[in-house]
């Protein structure tokens, strides 16, 4: 190797008081003033000077501002101090044995290496994930699925493992998006360790290749052991034997406050249906229940619940006298949601329901039943109504609300109407819309409606609803038709 540019500066004999350029090796000027190409010079990346490299540099520290030939900063290209010093030590070690003067320089480099390594570590540590507080991680864990959480954090290090298993973090288990292999691993290894931190469980048999309910039974997971369980959701169960097992487990969930049974098929008779209702109404802390078991009728429980506040009955055919019994068995009921409610032998109830503040009625086809319900709930604050072929106009709704619902603040309405014969004309639709343009609708409550009309061969399909639209069961073909609105800013 040519060491001409790396050696100690020499002064020629004939020029005792002049400088020697280490670029062109000519006396009379310094390397930085040399007119020849400076990029070919050997430059120290520590002191930024020409004529030597880093291991020969006598500068006592490494705190320099790196610049290129144009004067711009090059700090973004600088390697960590620990890497630079380690490289210098390796390059210098080959010469340390032959040159005793390098022993002092080597010890200096080692000392600098230790300090710079600590500084570099501290500087980089501020960008690591570990600097965040444990409380923040517990909040982040709430938004992650159990599978992603365990994969990302459980085996990361001892701190995160202890944090995942700690009592300060609560978990919501939704097995719907977890593969079968991961699900088995979670059942066998992780759930026994975090069972006291699980606050909600959602189990679904929607994927027929992976029956989650059977895996629960297979691995002997007893929901009763989940001391902090507050919410349980069961979806798409089609096996009656599995439903029986789940029903038995439900009776032991003494801490659950929210229960959902969604799209679960059962061919229960009166006794079995009543048994399910009794189990639900017997849970001591249950406040919210959502039932959709796809059976033909809902049978009222025989037991009374003093904790239930919100009940949703979907997928059942509810008879009015069953609703009357349900209200007596649920004295603290504040919210009720019903679908497919009909009369039975003209049975009515007249006892006022003072605790009810929220009522949602879907697919209502009986006008007398609707009137009977609304007349007994004078404390309603929120009312949602979906009717079919009940020709209520704005004047009639105004009379009902004024006379029976004086505390109503939120009103959501959707009506599907058919006009036939002499009423099958656009003028009749305008008359219907004008009935919702009174002072009561536009000024007092500011409840605006929109009306679509689809003309058929023998009739007209009318869709009228309050805006904004919050109903899911909508005829798309009718929605595509032009509409008229009572809202002054609602343009077509």
Distance CA 333, CA 287 (A): 9
What confidence score (pLDDT) does residue 370 get? 87
**Quick one: tokens of 68?**
């290129």
Instruction: Give the end-to-end CA distance of the chain in Å, rounded to a whole number.
Output: 84
Calculated CA dihedral for residues 270, 276, 277, 279, nearest 10 degrees: 140
- Confirm if 426 and 451 have CB atoms less than 8 A apart: no
Q: Is the dihedral of CA 14, 20, 26, 29 positive or negative?
A: negative
What confidence score (pLDDT) does residue 18 get? 56
Residues 175 and 303 in one domain: yes
What confidence score (pLDDT) does residue 14 get? 45
Asked whether residue 68 is domain-assigned, the answer is: yes
Residues 344 and 478 in one domain: no
Asked whether residue 182 is domain-assigned, the answer is: yes
Residues 350 and 473 in one domain: no
Residues 102 and 142 in one domain: no
Residues 383 and 446 in one domain: no
- Is the preceding omega at residue 468 within 30 degrees of 0, hence cis? yes
For residue 336, give the CATH number of its domain: 3.80.10
Rounded average pLDDT per 10-residue block, the chain, 492 residues: 41 50 72 60 68 69 42 42 42 46 42 46 54 84 80 83 78 75 77 83 70 62 76 83 78 89 74 85 95 75 94 82 88 91 63 90 86 90 92 94 96 92 82 95 95 87 91 82 89 56
Among 108, 125, 142, give the residue marking a domain's end. 125
Among 106, 125, 144, give the residue marking a domain's end. 125
Q: What letter would DSSP give residue 223?
A: G
Asked whether residue 469 is domain-assigned, the answer is: yes
Which of 374, 331, 375 lies closest to 355 in space, CA to CA? 331
Structural domain range at position 346: 130-398+417-425
Which of 356, 359, 366, 300 lies closest to 333 in space, CA to CA? 356
Residues 165 and 272 in one domain: yes
Asked whether residue 37 is domain-assigned, the answer is: no
Whether the pTM exceeds 0.85: the reply is: no
For 133-194, list the strands marked E by DSSP.
Answer: 171-174
What confidence score (pLDDT) does residue 50 get? 66
Distance CA 358, CA 43 (A): 80
Which of 470, 485, 290, 321 lies closest to 384 in space, CA to CA? 470
Among 425, 460, 475, give the residue marking a domain's end. 425
Hey, is 470 helix, strand or coil? coil
Asked whether residue 14 is domain-assigned, the answer is: no
- Confirm if 202 and 229 have CB atoms less than 8 A apart: no
Helices in 126-175 by DSSP H: which ranges? 134-141, 146-149, 158-165
Residues 138 and 96 in one domain: no
Residues 191 and 289 in one domain: yes
What confidence score (pLDDT) does residue 212 get? 67
Residues 405 and 308 in one domain: no
- Confirm if 232 and 264 have CB atoms less than 8 A apart: no
What confidence score (pLDDT) does residue 264 get? 79
- Name every residue whose Cβ is closer than 8 Å to that of residue 63 and which is 6 or more positions away in sequence: none
Residues 433 and 486 in one domain: yes
- Confirm if 51 and 33 have CB atoms less than 8 A apart: no
Asked whether residue 36 is domain-assigned, the answer is: no
**Quick one: tokens of 326?**
């349900």
Q: How many residues does the chain have?
A: 492
Residue 283 has φ and ψ, to the nearest 5°, of: -65, 125
Asked whether residue 343 is domain-assigned, the answer is: yes
């Amino acid at each position: 190797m040519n060491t001409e540019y790396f050696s100690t500066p020499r002064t020629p004999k004939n020029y005792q008081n002049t400088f020697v350029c280490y670029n062109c090796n000519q006396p009379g000027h310094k390397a930085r003033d040399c007119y020849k190409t400076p990029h070919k010079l050997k430059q120290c990346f520590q002191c930024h000077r020409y004529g030597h490299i880093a291991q020969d540099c006598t500068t006592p520290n490494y705190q320099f501002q790196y610049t290129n030939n144009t004067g711009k900063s090059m700090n973004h290209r600088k390697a960590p101090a620990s890497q630079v010093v380690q490289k210098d030590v390796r390059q210098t070690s080959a010469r340390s044995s032959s040159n005793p003067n390098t022993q002092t320089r080597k010890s200096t480099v080692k000392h600098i290496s230790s300090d710079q390594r600590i500084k570099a570590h501290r500087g980089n540590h501020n960008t690591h994930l570990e600097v965040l507080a444990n409380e923040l991680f517990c909040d982040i864990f709430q938004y992650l699925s159990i599978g992603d959480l365990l994969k990302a954090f459980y085996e990361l290090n001892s701190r995160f493992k202890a944090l995942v298993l700690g009592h300060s973090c609560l978990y919501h288990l939704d097995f719907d998006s977890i593969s079968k292999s991961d699900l088995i691993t979670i059942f066998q290894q992780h759930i026994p360790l975090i069972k006291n931190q699980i606050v909600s469980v959602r189990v679904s048999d929607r994927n027929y290749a992976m029956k989650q309910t059977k895996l629960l039974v297979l691995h002997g997971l007893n929901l009763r052991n989940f001391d902090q369980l507050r919410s349980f959701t069961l979806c798409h169960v089609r096996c009656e034997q599995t439903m029986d097992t789940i029903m038995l487990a439900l009776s032991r969930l003494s801490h659950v406050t929210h229960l959902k049974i969604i799209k679960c098929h059962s061919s229960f008779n009166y006794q079995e249906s009543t048994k399910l209702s009794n189990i639900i109404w017997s849970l001591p802390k249950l406040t919210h229940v959502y039932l959709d078991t796809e059976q033909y009728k809902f049978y009222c429980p025989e037991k009374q619940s003093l904790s239930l506040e919100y009940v949703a009955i979907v997928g059942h055919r509810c008879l009015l006298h069953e609703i009357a019994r349900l209200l007596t068995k649920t004295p603290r009921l504040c919210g009720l949601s019903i679908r497919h409610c009909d009369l039975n032998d003209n049975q009515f109830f007249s006892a006022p329901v003072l605790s009810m503040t929220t009522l949602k009625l879907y697919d209502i086809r009986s006008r007398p039943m609707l009137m009977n319900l609304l007349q007994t709930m004078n404390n309603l604050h929120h009312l949602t109504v979906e009717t079919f072929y009940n020709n209520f106009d704005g004047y009639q709704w105004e009379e009902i609300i004024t006379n029976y619902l004086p505390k109503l603040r939120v009103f959501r309405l959707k009506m599907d109407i058919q006009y036939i014969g002499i009423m099958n004309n656009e003028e009749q639709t305008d008359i219907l819309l004008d009935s919702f343009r009174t002072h009561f609708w536009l000024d007092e409550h500011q409840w605006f409606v929109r009306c679509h009309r689809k003309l058929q061969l023998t009739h007209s399909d009318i869709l009228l609803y309050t805006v904004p639209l919050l109903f899911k069961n909508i005829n798309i073909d009718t929605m595509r038709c032009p509409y008229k609105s009572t809202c002054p800013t609602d343009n077509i």
